[in-house]
Amino acid sequence: MARYVINGGNRLEGNIRIKGAKNSALALLSASILTQESVVLRDCPDISDIGNMLSILGGLGCKCSFDCGTITVDSSTLDGAEIENNTAKKIRSSVFLLGAMLSRCKKAKIAYPGGCNIGLRPIDIHIDGLRKLGVEIVETQDALECDATHAHSAYMRLKIPSVGATENLIMASVFLHGKTVIDNCAREPEIVDLQNMLVAMGAKVSGVEDGRAVIEGVESLHGVDYTVLPDRIVAGTYLIAAAMCQGEITLENVRRRHLEALTAKLADNTCNITYKDDRITLYSNGVSTNPPLLSTGYYPDFPTDLQSQFLAMMTIGKGKCVIEENLFEDRFKAANELRLMGADIVVRGKRAFVNGVGRLNGTTVKACDLRGGAALVLAGLVARGTTIVEDIYHIDRGYEDMAPILRSLGADIKRI
């Protein structure tokens, strides 16, 4: 099993380019089956989640290729609408294909999805929304069997702005006669990216950025050549790394507004941040002072996908901090591993109480999920001695070439 070996204490300095967003690319790949023409996606990250999604599409009969960040999908040969258990368990985003398959095939069967073990993440919002669209759904112990033969446009209001449900329901609505309205929809940049690609394919979708998606049905969609938006979570991870290591890095291919929830916190913690076009430069000039409270929320609030990394930074900061996780009930698993490195963290329910200890100590830890694994790498970068991070297949789900990138910035890290 692969692992990272990190010798901490090096300053990070240099430039890196951020590739396309995992969470966007997965949704765009799902949308690729909405047309029988070729879809080309550029700047895709070479990560295991993308590989698994391409395997799922291949299993449905699509012809897929991946070369130097460019994915081409030809779904004209699509010959199935069933995602089996072993395949679905590999990746949470397999559920995003449900709406697209119903639009394309009218029927679909999908096993309950897998992904990171960070909480229940129920798909009841997906099911409720599809039923409002007239989709008949039979729930078995292991799978959902859906029939959209009599689907129709509808108005709905989501009980929470679920990212996955919003994406699924938009894709399930693109061919329905009339107007579908999804109120209280998620507004994450990745969903806006999906909206933009669908529009480029000939769909009539608007309003996502305002929290009220409006979809007017069309007869068909055509192919598209589309570039995935930059990954704000990967960008944020490396910004936090530089802040922890008192470094100076420049990230290319970023969108300033997508990072503001994080950069506002970093700017208050002895970091100087400047922007120029699609670049952001961070200079850390000292040990951070922990904010009293950080709460995660739906976009544009602080992203849950950066909570674990921020937690790692707070362990070495000055003072106390309370981190409140409002989206997932089991996303403090990294805290147990950070305590092995000397962190002072107490978890009570949805809150983690952190008392900065100034310095961590290297030891052997295990990645329990994608973002928590990244947090342990960041902790290793500043710890005394050697840190070994095991089970890094979790990290491979969302970060391409993490070790080579960090080495290019001056870190002492290798993959074994």
Helices (DSSP H) in 85-244: which residue ranges?
Answer: 85-88, 97-105, 124-132, 163-173, 189-200, 232-244
Query: Can you list the alpha helix ranges (DSSP code H) found in 212-284?
Result: 232-244, 260-267
| Backbone torsions φ then ψ of 12, nearest 5 degrees | -95, 135
CA angle 220, 130, 181 (to 5 degrees): 70
Whether 245 sits among the annotated catalytic residues: the reply is: no
Return the sign of the alpha-carbon dihedral for residues 213, 216, 220, 222: negative
CA 15, distance to chain mean position in Å, is 23
Nearest CA-CA partner of 164 in 129, 212, 132, 214 = 129
- Do strands 143-147 and 107-111 pair parallel, antiparallel, or not at all (unpaired)? antiparallel
Q: List beta partners, residue 214.
A: 181, 206
Radius of gyration of the chain (CA): 21
Among the options 64, 116, 271, 368, which is catalytic? 116
The string of DSSP letters for 289-310 reads BPPSEEEB-STTSB-GGGHHHH
Q: Which of 34, 31, 19, 33 is nearest to 70 (CA)?
A: 19
Q: Which residues are catalytic?
A: 116
